[in-house]
Amino acid sequence: MLLENKTAVIYGGGGTIGGAMARAFAAEGARVFLAGRTPATLDAVAEDIRGAGGLAETAVVDALDEGAVNGWVDSVADLAGGVDISVNVITQDSIFKPMAEMRVEEFTAALAKAARSYLLTYQAAARHMVKQNSGVILNFGGSDRTNSEPGLGTVQVACDMIEGMRRQWACELGPHGIRVVTMKTGGVLESFPDLPEMEPIKQKMIDATLLKRAASLQDVGRVAAFLASDHAASITSTEINITAGALVD
């Protein structure tokens, strides 16, 4: 049990990626608290975890609402005795078009939402982790500075911004025993819509990897559980590449 007696909070816990992490954390002994805006998806993940013998609780939380985020994390810490792992996998409003065609207002609004969500969730976790002198904050997505493509719009810019935040947080929180790590992905095909028009895109992603397969949801969960565990105690302020060789560091 890599995460026995650990407490994990996951924003976007009802989603495909958040759910994969939650299930893996619970399978390794963690008590998971899932936050999101859609009760049905949160409950579905929680029921899977409980059905497998794990511990999971849910809450409707808007990660852009400072009072809601702080109140929820405080309640989790009071109930569980602390917060050991914090994950934000919420996808904010992304604009897929050339930056030259964007209105200033829509560009800044999209980035502001991403910055606000990550700042609030980082702060809420850090407040409790500093008290216990330990903790892990995980990001998902990463930044691809070498292979960006036209038309990604705010997606790539937001990832770069979040990575800048990750580096600064790792610097500030390291002396308190808190690690901050990003999982860099080239795309998880199981999280894509199951539509005929998506098949060529999925195959292109597979062909771009060295292993000739994309990372699976199981891969995501297992790597996340390892990174959140004491087995990864020396890993912080970096990206962990789970692209199956699509991106080469």
- Domain containing residue 212: CATH number: 3.40.50.720
Position 248 scores a pLDDT of 81
Within a domain: residue 106? yes
Within a domain: residue 93? yes
Within a domain: residue 1? no
d(CA 170, CA 107): 27
Average pLDDT over residues 211-217: 93
Instruction: Give the pTM.
Output: 0.93
Within a domain: residue 219? yes
Sign (positive or negative) of CA dihedral 164, 248, 107, 104: positive
d(CA 141, CA 182): 7
- Give the total number of structural domains in the chain: 1
Q: Which of 27-36, 136-145, 148-157, 158-167 has the highest mean pLDDT?
A: 27-36
User: Which residues lie closer than 8 Å to 53 by C-beta, 6 or more apart?
Assistant: none
Average per-residue pLDDT in the chain? 92
Share above pLDDT 70 across residues of the chain, in percent, rounded to a whole number: 95
Q: Domain range holding 170?
A: 7-241
Within a domain: residue 2? no
Position 90 scores a pLDDT of 82
Within a domain: residue 190? yes
Within a domain: residue 247? no
Per-residue DSSP letter, 124: H
Within a domain: residue 246? no
pLDDT beyond 60 at 146: no
